[in-house]
Structures are given as structure tokens and as C-alpha cells.
């Protein structure tokens, strides 16, 4: 009799566990790539809030905040790094017509759009570090000081396509006006 009671007890416990299991399966939950009612943008997968630093990366990230002084050497370094790492897609002019794009890579936006002219330096640093849409991260290939150099050079590229003639130094203005004649 006691044996039977034990078997029945064990069976009851099993049923109870099974019932619990059922309820856990049926609980409300969001599926990774699905929609979420919890967040305003309706996405389950949320980007880390701005300023989030990965574990163990604090010292490395700290160097990101240190803008190097502007110099011809910084621009030259930026040009060299840009031509190596960015121009294959963005083109050496930054208009987004690079060779890889001509071979089928999605088109990046031109750096000469009003939006990217007005975008702060930090936006470019972020894109280099974390990637953007179809563009992957360059964090492993472009160290923080080179990111600043590249951003300085992108600013120079933007200026090269969008400058008031009156703002040019006299000798450059003469050359330009001479070329127009």
C-alpha cells in the first residue's frame, strides 16, 4: 500500500512539474527579431544607449574622447587611412562612388549631403567604431587616434566641395580664378 502511495505521489509530482512547464512555455514573451510593445520603436532588439562601454574596454574607450590637435600631419595621416579603409566604398572624394560599390555593394550616402555636412564629428567616430547599417565596424582596424585623423580628413574633403571663394586664401583664389579664365 505504501509502495502504491509513493508511486502515486511521484506521479502527482511529475504531473505538477509538467503543468508548471506548460505555464512557463505559455508565458508572454518577445521573440528576438519580432515586434515588441514594450519599447517605443517597437523593436525587441534594442541598441545600447549612447555612451555604453563594453566590459573591459574602459581604458581603450577613454582615448576616444581625446581629440588630437589639428595639424598638417594629422590630415596627411587621415588622408592615408581614409584612402586605405574608406575609399574602396566611399571613393577618394567621399561621394559614395567607390570601386566596391560599382561591383554591387550597397551605395553609401555622399559625405557632401547637407545632412552629413552638418553631422557632428562624433557621428563619424561612432560610424567608424560601430558600423552603420550595411557598413561594418572598423574598430579593429582603425585605432582611436586614426579615427580622429580620418574625421579631420573627411571635414577637409567636405570643404573641398563646398567653400565660399571669398573664404579662400588670396593665392588659392588667384589660382582658381586663373583656372576659370
| Residue ranges that bind ligand HEC, judged by CB under 6 A | 85-86, 88-90, 100, 105-106, 108-109, 124, 127-128, 132-135, 138, 142, 150
Q: Smallest distance from the beta carbon of 142 to ligand HEC, in angstroms?
A: 5
Q: Which residue is nearest to ligand HEC (CB)?
A: 133
Q: Smallest distance from the beta carbon of 42 to ligand HEC, in angstroms?
A: 19
The whole-angstrom separation of Cα 26 and Cα 12 is 21
What is the DSSP-derived secondary structure letter of residue 132? B
Residue 124 or 148: the one with the smaller Cβ distance to ligand HEC is 124
User: 582615448: which residue's cell?
Assistant: 63
Residue 30 or 97: the one with the smaller Cβ distance to ligand HEC is 97
Long-range pairs of 143-147 with CB within 8 A, sequence gap ≥ 24: 144/60, 144/63, 144/64, 144/66, 145/63, 145/68, 146/77, 146/78, 146/81, 147/64
Q: Smallest distance from the beta carbon of 102 to ligand HEC, in angstroms?
A: 12
Q: Smallest distance from the beta carbon of 68 to ligand HEC, in angstroms?
A: 16
Residue 138 or 148: the one with the smaller Cβ distance to ligand HEC is 138
Q: Check if the beta carbon of residue 31 is closer than 8 Å to that of residue 43.
A: no
Amino acid at each position: 500500500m505504501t509502495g502504491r502511495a509513493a508511486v502515486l505521489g511521484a506521479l502527482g509530482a511529475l504531473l505538477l512539474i509538467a503543468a508548471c512547464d506548460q505555464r512557463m512555455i505559455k508565458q508572454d514573451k518577445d521573440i528576438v527579431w519580432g515586434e515588441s510593445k514594450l519599447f517605443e520603436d517597437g523593436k525587441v532588439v534594442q541598441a545600447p544607449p549612447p555612451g555604453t562601454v563594453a566590459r573591459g574596454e574602459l581604458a581603450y574607450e577613454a582615448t576616444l574622447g581625446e581629440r588630437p590637435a589639428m595639424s598638417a600631419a594629422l590630415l596627411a595621416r587621415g588622408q592615408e587611412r581614409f584612402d586605405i579603409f574608406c575609399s574602396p566604398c566611399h571613393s577618394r572624394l567621399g561621394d559614395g562612388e567607390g570601386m566596391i560599390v560599382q561591383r554591387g555593394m550597397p551605395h553609401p550616402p555622399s559625405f557632401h549631403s547637407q545632412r552629413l555636412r552638418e553631422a557632428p564629428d562624433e557621428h563619424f567616430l561612432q560610424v567608424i567604431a560601430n558600423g552603420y547599417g550595411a557598413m561594418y565596424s572598423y574598430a579593429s582596424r582603425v585605432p582611436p587616434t586614426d579615427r580622429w585623423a580620418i574625421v579631420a580628413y573627411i571635414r577637409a574633403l567636405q570643404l573641398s566641395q563646398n567653400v565660399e571663394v571669398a573664404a579662400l586664401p588670396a593665392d588659392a583664389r588667384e589660382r582658381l580664378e586663373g583656372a576659370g579664365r
